[in-house]
Amino acid sequence: MDAVRLLGWLVLSALAPGAAHLRAGWRRTGLVLLSCYAVGLLGLLAVVLSAGDITSLLGSLVDDTWLSAITFGSALLGIAWFALMVHSFVVLRPGGLRQAEQIVTGTLAGLLSVAVLAPFAVATHTVWTLKQAANSIFHDVQPDPQAQGEKLTERRRDPWAGRARVNILLLGGDADDNRPGVRTDSMNVASIDVRTGNTALISLPRNLEEVRFRPGTPMAERFPDGFRLPVDPGGGRSDLLNSVWEYADAHPEIFGGKRKQGPEVLMDTIGYTLGLDMDWYALVNMWGFARLIDAIGGVTLTVEQDVVFGKYNEGLVKAGTRRLKGADAMWYARSRTNSSDYIRMHRQRCVIGALLDQADPATVLSRFTHVAAATKELIQTDIPRAMLSNLVPLALKVKDAKVTSIQLVPPLIQTYDPDWDKIRKLTQKAIRESTGAQPVAVKTPAGIPTKSPKATKKAAAPTQGLTDGCGRL
């Protein structure tokens, strides 16, 4: 056999294991290898077809057991395929070639063996990185033994327990080395239809005053007339909505000595304010978010006008449409210079919308290691690890579904004197408009003051697409 034919059979063996063995007369070995290969392909096809749709399959693949199996299997298969290529070269008897041809074919065979191994190595590294990132962000919740049996079976059949919507509190934390605690300066509730992925994004202002707490809770007992504290020595206020987490963490005595109650208190408070049952929260470190933007190669934004930032106004994000790095995107979203909280909320919404639009699967996969590393430093959440296999398909639905948003800011809502009943009605309106459902009756719970019927009637207000209004003054 000449060198060209030998290399041809070797390439064919890379695509159809066993071909070289058949050519070399190793019929039994060749047939076994080809049969195993065919069975493997049919098994993979069966798995894909049985999954029903690609989103369900992706959801299953982020299960910890599957990730471990894929990591081990990919590594093992890569080594086996590498060994197969080496053995295929040997059985084709390269010793019958001239010395120069042996050197050339041996070198090319080695390169081909490495090329065959490379995809498996990349897959092993990628899946292992995903497993590590998922396990560092999402944590297992120890099940109550009494919650097993029928409840567990029902949960597997319907992970949403019969609920039509899931409500997730998305927070942007403004932690600072020079200040203890966490200030949640960006607060949005994503209310997601679990069937369609249609989402209503409700944005709350950081400076909402006299926040009311659910009756019967420790915070309601401490602040029966709303969250109110003396003015700070510098003239600022530490009793706004963005301070609830920090205050709860700083006063464990209110909760019988229990520490780190901030997330639970803020979730309950915002849920009570909006009239929604909150499922989970996700706290994003705002500057970690900048690292995530850098990890996907930046984000394209239209900056409506020059945005000045920095302690001495030394920074500038120039107006115009271009791809921004993470730091510039964050300064665009968060700069307070010559700006109000409500303009900042608008810019933050534009950044989130642009990221959702531009973080397509191909981009994320091509830069996956960078994305995973940034994400591990970015997110704090109480979403259970076991729910990730259900949330991945839901997140993919959201990306392609209708996302409407509403900002509960002036003149719609006066932050210094909020109309709590109006806030709840606007929330329900936004959810209805995201699904096209008919109006529903809204009850105002005890403890939430209401304005006059005339004032509430003016609640008709605007929901809009996530990126509506972005890119223009």
The reported pLDDT for the residue numbered 315 is: 85
Low-confidence ranges of the chain (pLDDT < 50): 144-155, 177, 438-461, 473
State the pTM of this model: 0.75
Q: How many whole angstroms separate alpha carbon 296 and alpha carbon 367?
A: 6
Q: How many whole angstroms separate alpha carbon 33 and alpha carbon 274?
A: 62
In this structure, which long-range contacts are made by residues 174-183, counting pairs with CB atoms below 8 Å and at least 24 apart in sequence?
174/242, 174/286, 175/285, 180/246, 180/250, 181/245, 181/246, 181/249, 181/250, 182/245, 182/246, 182/249, 182/262, 182/283, 183/242, 183/243, 183/245, 183/246
The reported pLDDT for the residue numbered 64 is: 86
Instruction: Name the CA radius of gyration of the chain, rounded.
Output: 29
The reported pLDDT for the residue numbered 16 is: 92
**């398909």: which residue's tokens?**
393
Q: How many whole angstroms separate alpha carbon 367 and alpha carbon 361?
A: 10
Q: In whole angstroms, how far apart are CA 348 and each of 271, 301, 305, 335?
A: 22, 11, 15, 10
The partner residues of 253 in beta bridges, in order of sequence, read none
The reported pLDDT for the residue numbered 180 is: 55
Q: How many whole angstroms separate alpha carbon 67 and alpha carbon 65?
A: 5
The reported pLDDT for the residue numbered 249 is: 93
Q: Using one digit for the tens of pLDDT, what is the confidence trace for 429-456?
A: 999 988 865 443 333 444 444 444 444 4
Q: Which two tokens stand for residue 255?
A: 């909760």
Please give the backbone phi and psi of residue 179, each rounded to the nearest 5 degrees, phi first: -145, 130
Its sign, for the CA torsion 322, 325, 328, 331, is: positive
Exposure b/e, 270-303, CB count within 10 A at least 16 = b: bbbbbbbebbbbbbbbbbbbbbbbbbbebbebeb
The reported pLDDT for the residue numbered 456 is: 40
The reported pLDDT for the residue numbered 173 is: 77
Q: How many whole angstroms separate alpha carbon 37 and alpha carbon 33?
A: 6
The reported pLDDT for the residue numbered 141 is: 61
